């Protein structure tokens, strides 16, 4: 008589042999479970910690460095979502509620100060009804890191803490709302795993949207690096156009987004976008792997904040080398990978910037 473990193993092999789902469906489901959903859960957790940190700091239970660290963690988690921007977060103006960039006219400072001047007894509803400019991490960063502010001073802490706590609460609620929509019975996670559905006619459409979001994010990283380098201003560096110039975290954010993009490419267990390439496309896969490695290594080697590197010729030269590497990575996937997978890229949110 066959023992139960052996029967189970044989049954598993038989079921695996009968699995006729297309590779696109398997990869889409694997990415949803092992890459995308974990990133959204981490984002919510970081937002919960942000809200708790704001409350603790404003109650005098923790110091400014702890509040700043909670912000940096939330900002990094948000950066990691950039290549995974499909579904609820890409809709309904939600992304603007998290971050307002580019801020070419310092609207963050102006609108924060205007809001607090008009609402000296600011409450949560005031923030919920306000502009997206004051609801997100850009405004939170202004409060904690702007050189003109010092929340260690009692008077300034009393003025700005209501907004700090309200933004933390808003981000926590937004993160919960988005994750709930992902995990709902007919939510985004389900739509990436079962076809056809209300969003995708088949798995090919799901893969195409994941790839477009991935490529659009890489293009966005070029903009976030290129703008402060002066690539859009005749070569004159514009340090205040950096994504996170106040917290000096622009390059750290770029690294977090790049790592997330590479996870989508590689997958958790060899089940990423790369797995959709056939053996005859191994050379392309190798070049994309090498491009990720080159960009990652150049970024890690910088070791200093973007603002410092912009202020010296050697630093600027190394940033230009990083930009060229990132551009190569982007173009490989925008043209060759998309063509290999039969995906039309078209325009994206960064075109025309």
pLDDT digits (tens, 9 = 90+) for 127-159: 999 999 999 999 999 999 999 999 999 999 999
pLDDT at 11: 47
Before 222, cis peptide (omega within 30)?
A: no
Q: Give the residues of the chain that fall short of pLDDT 50.
A: 1-2, 7-19, 349-353
Q: Which domains are seen in the chain, by residue range? A: 22-340 (1.20.1420.20)
Per-residue model confidence as pLDDT tens digits over 194-228:
999 999 999 999 999 999 999 999 999 999 999 99
pLDDT at 103: 95
* Rounded Cα distance, 280 and 219, in Å: 27
pLDDT at 25: 98
Is the whole model's pTM more than 0.85, yes or no?
A: yes
pLDDT at 20: 61
């Amino acid at each position: 008589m066959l023992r139960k473990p052996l029967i189970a193993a044989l049954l598993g092999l038989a079921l695996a042999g009968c699995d006729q789902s297309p590779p696109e469906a398997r990869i889409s489901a694997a990415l949803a479970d092992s890459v995308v959903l974990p990133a959204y859960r981490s984002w919510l957790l970081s937002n919960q910690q942000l809200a708790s940190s704001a409350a603790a700091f404003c109650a005098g239970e923790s110091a400014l460095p702890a509040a700043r660290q909670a912000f940096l963690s939330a900002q990094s988690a948000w950066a990691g979502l950039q290549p995974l921007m499909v579904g609820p977060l890409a809709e309904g103006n939600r992304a603007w509620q998290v971050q307002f960039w580019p801020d070419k006219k310092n609207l963050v400072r102006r609108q924060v100060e205007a809001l607090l001047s008009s609402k000296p007894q600011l409450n949560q509803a005031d923030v919920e009804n306000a502009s997206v400019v004051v609801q997100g991490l850009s405004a939170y960063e202004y409060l904690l890191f702007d050189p003109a502010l010092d929340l260690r001073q009692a008077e300034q802490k009393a003025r700005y803490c209501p907004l700090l706590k309200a933004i933390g609460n808003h981000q926590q609620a937004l993160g919960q709302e988005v994750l709930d929509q992902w995990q709902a019975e007919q939510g985004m996670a389900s739509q990436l795993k079962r076809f056809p559905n209300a969003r995708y006619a088949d798995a090919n459409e799901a893969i195409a949207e994941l790839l477009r979001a991935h490529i659009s994010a890489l293009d966005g990283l070029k903009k976030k690096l290129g703008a402060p380098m002066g690539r859009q201003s005749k070569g004159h560096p514009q340090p205040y156009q950096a994504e996170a110039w106040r917290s000096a975290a622009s390059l750290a954010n770029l690294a977090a987004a790049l790592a997330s993009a590479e996870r989508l490419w590689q997958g958790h267990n060899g089940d990423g976008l790369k797995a959709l390439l056939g053996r005859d496309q191994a050379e392309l896969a190798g070049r994309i792997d090498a491009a990720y490695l080159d960009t990652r290594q150049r970024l890690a080697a910088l070791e200093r904040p973007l603002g410092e590197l912009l202020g010296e010729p050697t630093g600027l030269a190394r940033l230009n080398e990083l930009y060229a590497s990132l551009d190569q990575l982007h173009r490989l996937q925008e043209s060759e990978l998309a063509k290999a997978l039969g995906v039309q890229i078209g325009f994206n949110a960064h075109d025309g910037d």
